Structure 1
Amino acid sequence: MKRIVLVAAVGLALCASWTHANGATISGKIVDAAGKAVEGVTVSAFDDDRKQSVSVFSQDDGSFSISGLRNVTFNVRARLMGQLDEWQEDVDAGATSLSFTMKAATGEDLEDQRTADSGFSMLKWDNMKDKENYKMMCTYCHQSGSRGWRTPEKPVDWETMIRRMDGFGGLYRHTQKTLVKRLVETYSDEAVAKWPAFVPPPAPQGVATQARITEWDMGQQFKVMIHDLELGPDGLVYAVDMAQNAVVTLDPATGQRELYRFPGRYRGPHSIELGNDGHMWFTLCSSGEMAKFDLQTKKFTITSSAETARRGSYPHTLRINPDDPQGLIWYTDAGSNSCFSMHPETLKVKEYKLLRGDQAVGAGKGESRGITPYGIDISPVDGTIWYSKLNGNRIGRIDPNAEDGNIKEWNPPFRGPRRLHVAADGMVWVPGFGSGVFGKFDPKTEEWKVYDLPNADNQIPYALNIDPKGYVWICGTGSDSLQRFDPKTESLVEFRMPSRVTYTREIEFDADGNIWTCNSNGPARHTERGFGSIIKLEVIGDELKVANN
């Protein structure tokens, strides 16, 4: 789908360029209590009317500049872990001499800054296998360890929350017996008071400060879940609001938002992709259906189209090959051991039965609860379909030119392969959600190379994607970050998100190589403002941008 995304995003890119060039600028300097310049401070200008913020980072001389702003007043915040947030309100667009003096955070103010991965690290386990099992079962939809997540007070409150989430179903038996006690002993107010003080990571430097991040709050406060997003050919951003059974749109140029509900009962809209027919396609996980949203008429087509009334029990992630003349829609079904293809015009569905656990290359055991076909992508080299099994702990390949798919599967050397992508050179990049790593699989040699994320044992990378320059972008789902990996130098750069509790699930790119993702922590009440959001990250510097040719 990369070709269509690039074409579709031209309007977004041109609009963004015009806005930066013609909008107002707020600039200033950040210093510490001694008057020394501070690098790496996130400076955010909040446009309350549009529920939007634009953030940049202070440079090594302490300076910052936020350009492309509307001619209105803004509330401006300076934020750096280990320091108190500093605010200046009602700042006029065009202000050029803002000055912030950072002061050290202590006590509760410092604890409030603790990221989820740090909070999760306080939960001790007898072995890594038990810890990975917990990560796999209890961080599917939200961070574990954040301040908002730690709200239950009594054992019965924790037990109620856990049973509501998963009913202990996928946790090991011995973990089920001890989990509530572990949680209370780790996360009660009395226990937290005994934690060692939070040690903030070093401030961002160099490339990690060369970013501009725009964030739009989306949906109804506390009643929203912006799961996935896609860039439209009309310059709009389309996203799925699972909580509202709806498609939502955002016009980045104006901030205008619209909501279109799926007809009838709750259907569980989950994932979204732009089809070769120019319309948006969705998986509907609760109703076991697929859907099309016509961008011109704003009408939905809901389809089951298979011999049985329910084609799948949990249609999950979908992808479409931009070079496929049929425009087939490929998707996983997390509730069965199958992948499907669907013709966008005839709505004819073909099912591909995937392999049993013992049929994978280097298989052995690895199932926890179910199999869960999950991520899916299409190789730009040969058009083969690649998928992951989250709980089955496999990645696999389908040959769409073979009647039976000529399916083959491999067992990765880490836990929890989630939303994978295939690079332009055919390498398959896979996030290891349970292990806190990401890996590169070579289909020719069938060999893996695995890379740890920082603080890997406590990370939960949900998804990754490869931009047109070849950089691998990984969701820092548990650390409020996006990670950029250069396969040539094997170097990793962390870009911090401006909002606390930023749980990301999907990554897209526009024509300029800018990164788009969304915050979909569920429940939204855990997040800093109680909303979902759409996020755009622009890396500053020509050497990091994508050539428009």
Structure 2
Amino acid sequence: MSRNLRLTLALVLGGALLVLAACAGRDQGAAPQTAAEPVRSADWIAALPEGPTRRQVVLGCTPCHQLGLPVAHRNTLEDWRVVVARMKKIDDDLDLALIPLDAEQLAQWLSKNARMPKQGFSVPVAQADIREYPAGPKKAFYHDMAVTAGRAWIADYFGNKLYGVNVESGAVETYDIPVNVAPGKPGGAHQIDITRDGMLWITFTKSEQVMRFDPGTKEFRVYNGFEKGGNVQYFVVDADRYMYQDAGGGVWMTHFAREILSRLDPKTGEITVYTTPRTEHVKEKGVHLYAAVADSQGRLWYTETHGNRLGVLDPKTGKASEFDMPEPWSGPKRLAIDKDDVLWIPELATGKISVYDTRAGKFIDRLTLPIPGDFPYGIRRNPYTGDLWITGSGSDSLYRLDPKTKKFTIYRLPRAGAYTRTVSFTENGDIWTNYASFPNFHTRGPSEPQGMDTGVVVRLRPK
């Protein structure tokens, strides 16, 4: 079902009227919009003065949510002090160390420089049929998603449940996840991905576990024994967007808080730890070894988001090397690799895509997203077309990038605050994602001034 329907949501915050657009199941015209464009998070960020402080604000806040409504609409120094103190407390409580800036200096800088634009940035958008599927409760956090076995899967970070949405009917299956935590405590479901045999895999940052879920038998296999306090983060993926498995069948993952990578033997459960140059030489959680991909030689290329580095581990030698990104505080995030072993690296804090040729050993290009102020969280390569899909996490958008022509196509998502982290693909051409803001209620529909009532999986069908 497709409805040519445009809805507006007017929110009054702090005495100012802000109009946000949201659409359900809409067709999107491929021409510049003539009506006043709603203000989005990217517009607010673009209005800040460029420099190290702005980049650190983006690096400190946008890994969890947009810097738009309701966070960014503040007028006084005291207002900003309250917001910064609250965010720093959450950062400390979750033990993430995302916000290293001095709280008072940051509040003063925001009070001086932060202004909400009157109108958003207008761009041509492409046509798509977009459908949303509810799954899971409102007070939850759904970091990631993947599609396999005719289901779009999301997991609740705090509630320790797995939800499978039937891609045809929207019917939802619910499974309790056997995490090793006390009742009521979060297991920390983080990345969800699949291996070539269709198995679903999940990392758990809090319970320090990895699990494999068989969509056929509905059974979990639990893997324990990972580095304590390491914060299991992301599986290493390949150019086809599957989890990378080496010649011995091993799967690999990064650890956010210890600057290490691990190899897991799925048959025996044996875990092997590999160190990097910063494993023993930086303050805990100071660098954030993040995502990783495997090239055709089996080398593992990884990003350090706050360390601002790109690294490579050669499993044959067990040695890793690293080098700086072209610009400071760029924030390399969730990268992709293509069939030519070229890396496509989203820079969270700059709105750019760095392109690195692993065979030549050099950066060969740097692209700028067409929406100023946007922060790309992740890139995924579509194995069926070769296109690269980028999350416009600050602009309520998804981008499709043709790697040959370097042309971007923009698809707007239906809701205000439509923060996304990844995409998944099906052979029929559908693109899948989910709204992944923490907190969940930052994403809003026209009838939801207090935020979404559920988790939401999104299917985008380009036209």
Kept after mapping to 1: 8 A contact 2:256/2:285 = no
Aligned residue number for residue 535 of structure 1: 458
Match for residue 332 of structure 1 among 254, 260, 279: 254
1:473 aligns with 2:389: yes
How far is the alpha carbon of 1:302 from its aligned partner? 2.6
Q: Which has the larger radius of gyration?
A: 1
Larger deviation, residues 175-184 vs 336-345: 175-184
Instruction: Give the structure 1 partner of residue 136 of structure 2.
Output: 219
Question: In structure 2, do the counterparts of structure 1 residues 58 and 134 end up closer, same or farther at CA, with 3 Å as the change threshold?
Answer: closer
2:324 aligns with 411
* Aligned twin of 2:118: 197
CA distance in structure 1 between the aligned counterparts of 2:207 and 2:33, rounded to whole angstroms: 43
Measure, in 1, the Cα distance between the counterparts of 2:264 and 2:61: 32
Query: What is the CA–CA distance in structure 1 between the aligned matches of 2:4 and 2:398, rounded to whole Å?
Result: 25
* Residue 181 of structure 2 is aligned to residue 285 of structure 1: no
Does the 8 A contact of 1:123 with 1:182 survive in 2?
no
The alpha-carbon deviation at position 465 of structure 1 amounts to: 1.3
- For residues 214-258 of structure 1, what are the alpha-carbon distances to aligned partners after superposition, in whole Å with 9 as ceiling and x for unaligned? 22233212x1222111111x2111122213222111002111112
Aligned-pair CA distance for 1:409: 2.3
- Which of 411, 418, 437 matches 1:495? 411
- 1:39-97 deviations in whole A, cap 9, x for unaligned? xxx995xxxxxxxx42212477xxxxxxxxxxxxxxxxxxx9774xxxxxxxxxxxxxx
What residue is the counterpart of 1:161 in the other structure? Answer: 86
CA contact 2:290–2:302 (8 Å) conserved in 1: yes
1:271 lines up with 2:201 in the alignment: no
Cα pair distance change 1:470/1:358, threshold 3 Å: farther
Give the alignment partner of residue 221 of structure 2, picking from 301, 309, 319. Answer: 301
Contact 1:114–1:146 under 8 Å retained in 2:
no
- CA distance 1:171–1:256, shift in 2 (3 Å): closer
Number of the residue aligned with 1:344? 266
Alpha-carbon deviations, 1:363-417, whole Å to 9, x = none? xxx99961211111222x32322211111222222233x1x33423232214111
Other-structure match for 1:32:
none
**Partner SS for 1:492:** strand
Residue 151 of structure 1: how far off its partner (Å)? 7.3
Rounded to whole Å, the distance in 1 between the matches of 2:261 and 2:133 is: 34
Cα contact 1:273–1:319 (8 A) shared by 2: no
Counterpart secondary structure, 2:143: strand
Q: How does 1:44-443 map to 2 (within 5 A)?
A: 44=23, 53-58=24-29, 83=35, 113-124=38-49, 128-147=51-70, 150=73, 155=79, 157-167=82-92, 170-171=98-99, 173=101, 175-184=102-111, 197-202=118-123, 204=124, 208-221=125-138, 223-232=139-148, 234-263=149-178, 265=181, 266-276=186-196, 278-305=198-225, 310-319=227-236, 324=246, 326-356=248-278, 370-379=286-295, 381-400=296-315, 402=316, 404-414=317-327, 415-443=330-358
The higher relative CO (CA closer than 8 Å, separation ≥ 6) is in 2
Instruction: Output the amino acid matched with 1:430.
Output: I
Quickly say closer, same or farther: Cα 1:343–1:144, change in 2 above 3 A: same
Distance, in Å, in 2 between the alignment partners of 1:304 and 1:372 is: 22
- Cα pair 2:56 2:349 within 8 Å, conserved: yes
Separation (CA, whole Å) in 2 of partners of 1:271 and 1:236: 16
Contact 2:390-2:400 at 8 Å conserved across structures: yes
Pick closer, same or farther for the CA change 1:148–1:172 going to 2, 3 Å: closer
User: Which structure has greater helix proportion?
Assistant: 1
Kept in 2, the 8 Å contact 1:476–1:504? The answer is: yes
Kindly indicate whether the alpha-carbon contact (under 8 Å) linking 1:416 and 1:434 is maintained by their aligned counterparts in 2: yes
CA gap of 1:163–1:82, structure 2 versus 1, over 3 A, is: farther
SS of aligned partner of 1:517: strand
The structure-2 alpha-carbon separation of the partners of 1:334 and 1:172, relative to structure 1 and needing over 3 Å to count, comes to: closer
Contact 2:71 2:83 in 1 (8 A): no
Give me the whole-angstrom Cα distance separating, in 1, the residues matched to 2:209 and 2:5.
52
1:409-446, Cα deviation, whole Å (9 max, x unpaired): 23221411111111011111111112211111011222
SS state at 1:397 partner: strand
Matched pairs, number: 424
CA distance in 1, matches of 2:390, 2:283: 25
Q: 2:376 aligns with which of 416, 441, 461?
A: 461
1:25, CA displacement in angstroms? 7.0
What TM-score results when the alignment is normalised by the length of structure 1?
Answer: 0.70
| CA displacement 1:111-169 (0-9 Å, x = unmatched) | xx210111233444xx6111111111121110012346537985353244222232595
Quick one: which amino acid aligns to residue 345 of structure 2?
V
| Aligned AA (1:523) | P
* Closer/same/farther in 2, CA of residues 171 and 522 from structure 1, 3 Å limit: closer
CA contact (8 A) 2:301 2:313 kept: yes
8 Å Cα contact 2:157/2:189 also seen in 1 = yes
Return the TM-score normalized by structure 2: 0.82
Given that residues 68 and 417 in structure 2 are in contact (C-alpha distance below 8 angstroms), is that contact kept between their aligned partners in structure 1? no
8 A contact 1:367–1:392 mirrored in 2: no
Secondary structure class of the residue paired with 1:327: coil
Shift of 1:324: 4.1
The answer to whether the Cα contact below 8 Å between 1:369 and 1:391 also exists between their aligned partners in 2 is no
In 2 relative to 1, CA 172–523 (structure 1 residues): closer, same or farther, beyond 3 Å? closer
Q: Secondary structure at the match of 1:164?
A: helix
* Structure 1 range deviating more: 253-262 or 366-375: 366-375
Q: Please give the alpha-carbon distance, in whole angstroms, between the structure 1 residues aligned to 2:33 and 2:407.
A: 23
**CA 1:212 to 1:43, structure 2 compared with 1: closer, same or farther past 3 Å?**
farther
User: Structure 2 regions of 5+ residues with no counterpart?
Assistant: 7-20, 238-242, 446-450
Q: How many Å separate the matches in 1 of 2:85 and 2:203?
A: 30
Whether the 8 Å CA contact 1:137–1:171 is kept in 2: the answer is: yes
Q: Tell whether the 8 Å contact from 1:373 to 1:389 is kept in structure 2 after alignment.
A: yes
